[in-house]
Structure 1
Amino acid sequence: MARTGERETVWELKPHTAAKHQLLTGYLKAWFPILSRWNARIVFLDGFAGPGIYKGEEYGSPIKALDVLLKHTHRDAMANKEFVFLFNEAEQDRYEQLEIVVRDYVAKNQPWPSNVKVSVGSDSFENVAEGILGFLEQQKSNLAPTFAFVDPFGVKGLPMDLLRRLLSFDRCELFVYFDFNTVNRFANAGNIDDRLTELFGTDLFKQARGLTGAERKAFLHDLYQSQLVEVCGFSYVKSFEMVNSSGHTGYFLFYGTRNIKGLEVMKDVMWTVDPGSGEKFSDILAGQDVLFQAEVDTRPLQQDMAQHFRGQLVSVETLAHYVLVDTPYALKHLKKLTLKPMQKEGVITSPNQKRTGTFPEGTLIKFAD
């Protein structure tokens, strides 16, 4: 494999990267058909696409994204919709490798579907985003529903303000790499403050001074998350933590959307990757036979809801929204694993339930005082 100095053009696929791809492809499997029902054009943007392949011939995110669509069980139903894949890689050697990988993939999948457009470019993510924005301004048009996968090395070239401008349209979503290891190391060093200010869209990261351990991690994590909400205007932001082989947090993946259905789908995928908590993957446990509980432990959720809704009469739809937005649990954990045992224990009752233990749409639930 080619090298530039000591930097590899193609490198080994790490377990946490495979988990990241699992999150990405799991989400796209649902996102493509959902969005194509209502939109004539769908865009997938991979802003830091890499070489497209790893040592051992494992495909990278660009080909995995294409694979999801071309092998989708509902592909025929989406044949009249246009799918645009934009792959960008700034490093010249990796871009050249990516071109070869994409070209070979297209050749292997002939006849290539006419509704699937693929573009491979080599520029900075900032220039690519500015180019898209300039084109939209000239056309006086809005960006088609776009899933932006932004997965850089480090903290350079990812200004919060650029994300705001590029993803300001309602149907645009973000899946972004947040290099916690670098941010944590340099938040108070003073030598890359300009980069970190661009990354966060504020210099409030400096308030991490004096914080240590879990408190410092939570502060930096929550600051970036709040900026995605307040600056970029995402209604819902959910993160997933990646722990390296030394047991330390390497980075977080942040998902941003304005659609609660998107949040529901992403949380389902996160719980598939992490059946224990839906929030974390560790390289330490990769490849090991980890024994998870047969069913998710929803006792913390039961206690939380019993306290939060104490004495109230609420709909099951209200509870579903609460679980999705305000807890780490997924919607699939609500009825059978949470409400059913709560009713059995007398914590909740229902004035309009037709059958005990079932909670169809419109069910009202009364929480004990």
Structure 2
Amino acid sequence: MKGDKFFDETREQSLVKATIVEKYFGAWSQIITGAQKRYHQHAQKIGYVDLFAGPGRYKDGAISTPLRVLNTALQNEQLHDRLITIFNDKDENHVRTLSEAISDLEQIKLLKHAPQIWNEEVGDNIALQFEKMSVIPVLAFIDPWGYKGLSLRLVNAFLKDWGCDCLFFFNYARINAGLSNSKVRRHMEALFESHTQALIDRVTGLPPEEREALIVEGIANALKTYGHRYVLPFCFKNESGKRTTHHLIFVTKHFKGYEVMKEIMAKESSTDHQGVASFQYMPAAALSQGLLFELNRPLNSLKDLLLLDFSGQSLTMIDIYRQHSIDKPFLNKHYKTVLKEMEEEGLIKTSGRKSKRGFADNILCVFP
């Protein structure tokens, strides 16, 4: 089976993906537990759900995402009594080996709640379970080999409650082919819902770069129809670097989660330009490419963007950053650097308390 071959070795892409999930879980869990301590009315528990967990270890012995997340939790005393984990895989052999790998973890009994291991096929049944319950803050990871079982309904079931975020594997190569195959139309409709036919019409006959950009834009827009969501894709290429194989897509309702994940993905990017991370390893081919084009903008475009987008307005640095950085590759430090340069060049006027450390969050920027 192809799914079994996936675990034969720790491919570089798999390691990057696991690292992103592990790092975000560590940061997200600290943010959530900090909020729970301040607001005691919230349940003092957090959750991690992995619906395609695999066997726990690659065949070379390296640990995969479930064990990396558990190791992170074991190193944080605040999580010992709080964390509830669910690991699912429809393969009985994977379930057995994952159970053994978890049992072998040193100090696993420090966790008050033993990891739950399910043996179910992912589909509407699991989506329905999570739709019906009011869940604690959960980080969900949905990592199917192809696309079967992945749906907007499932993603939304995890995101509906406070503190919940989701990461999912978007198998671009398979989905790109599936959009042209009527036999798998129901799977495409599970992903794009009412947008499916319009997307098929738009991408038909387009060159590969534009087709990919529209498909990724399509899934992002479909996700956002469920509410105000921040969507951040991270692209993976094949070994030649010429073809996209898949994206890891992050979805959250909160800017803080978006900000943290953007920092993590930026550090895991293989290339950058002018200090701005690539996120996707691909050049943007046309302005019409929406989200993927915006995430490939160079830093030297930021001054012109700010002058255009905030013409005649007065905002603080932190408000500019929070409003403007969505769907763009720029981080907080980039806005501080560029706004300081714009002030020195006379492109904007500023007022507020200055700091020797840099451009402070509360400095008011007045745009012509």
Of residues 126, 129, 142 in structure 2, which corresponds to 1:128? 126
* Residues 49-88 of structure 1: pairs in structure 2 closer than 5 A: 49-71=53-75, 75-79=76-80, 81-88=81-88
State the distance in 1 between where 2:120 and 2:46 align: 22
Identity of aligned residues (%): 24
Task: Tell me the amino acid that sits aligned with residue 84 of structure 1.
Answer: I
**In the TM superposition, what whole-angstrom CA distance separates every residue of 1:286-322 from its partner, at most 9, and x where no partner exists?**
xxxxxxxxxx962222221122223432211221113
SS at match of 1:54: coil
Question: 2:251 matched to which residue of 1?
Answer: 256
CA separation of 1:51 and 1:35: change in aligned 2, threshold 3 A: same
Task: Tell me the amino acid that sits aligned with residue 310 of structure 2.
Answer: F
Task: Tell me the amino acid that sits aligned with residue 60 of structure 2.
Answer: G
Residue 176 (structure 1) aligned with residue 168 (structure 2): yes
* Residues 207-246 of structure 1: pairs in structure 2 closer than 5 A: 207=201, 208-231=203-226, 233-246=227-240
SS at match of 1:191: helix
SS at match of 2:359: coil
Question: 2:288 matched to which residue of 1?
Answer: none
Task: Tell me the amino acid that sits aligned with residue 174 of structure 1.
Answer: C
* Residues 1-369 of structure 1: pairs in structure 2 closer than 5 A: 7-8=4-5, 10-37=7-34, 38=36, 39-71=43-75, 75-79=76-80, 81-105=81-105, 108-109=106-107, 112-126=109-123, 127-134=125-132, 136=133, 142-202=134-194, 203-204=196-197, 205-207=199-201, 208-231=203-226, 233-246=227-240, 247-274=242-269, 276=272, 277-280=276-279, 298-335=299-336, 337-354=337-354, 358-367=358-367, 369=368
State the distance in 1 between where 2:319 and 2:19 align: 30
How many pairs were matched up?
Answer: 338
Unaligned ranges ≥5, structure 1: 137-141, 284-295
Is residue 99–residue 120 contact of structure 1 (8 Å, CA) maintained in 2? yes
CA separation of 1:144 and 1:212: change in aligned 2, threshold 3 A: same
Normalising by the residue count of structure 1, what TM-score does the alignment of the two structures yield?
Answer: 0.84
Question: 2:286 matched to which residue of 1?
Answer: none
State the distance in 2 between where 1:28 and 1:244 align: 26
State the distance in 1 between where 2:158 and 2:56 align: 24
SS at match of 1:182: helix
CA separation of 1:227 and 1:77: change in aligned 2, threshold 3 A: same
Deviates more, 1:171-180 or 1:351-360: 351-360
Task: Tell me the amino acid that sits aligned with residue 267 of structure 1.
Answer: K
SS at match of 2:250: strand
Is residue 9–residue 94 contact of structure 1 (8 Å, CA) maintained in 2? no
Deviates more, 1:24-33 or 1:272-281: 272-281
State the distance in 2 between where 1:333 and 1:315 align: 15
SS at match of 1:256: strand
Task: Tell me the amino acid that sits aligned with residue 253 of structure 2.
Answer: R
SS at match of 1:115: coil
Deviates more, 1:214-223 or 1:201-210: 201-210
**In the TM superposition, what whole-angstrom CA distance separates every residue of 1:145-182 from its partner, at most 9, and x where no partner exists?**
01110010111111222332343223221101111101
SS at match of 1:130: helix
What is the deviation of 1:133? 4.1
What is the deviation of 1:282? 5.8
SS at match of 1:360: coil
* RMSD over aligned Cα atoms: 2.5
**In the TM superposition, what whole-angstrom CA distance separates every residue of 1:195-241 from its partner, at most 9, and x where no partner exists?**
1111222323322222222211111111101111113x352111111
State the distance in 1 between where 2:365 and 2:193 align: 42
State the distance in 2 between where 1:190 and 1:44 align: 35
State the distance in 2 between where 1:179 and 1:326 align: 21
What is the deviation of 1:77? 4.2
Unaligned ranges ≥5, structure 2: 37-42, 283-296
Task: Tell me the amino acid that sits aligned with residue 210 of structure 2.
Answer: E
SS at match of 1:177: strand
Is residue 273–residue 281 contact of structure 1 (8 Å, CA) maintained in 2? no
Is residue 9–residue 51 contact of structure 1 (8 Å, CA) maintained in 2? no
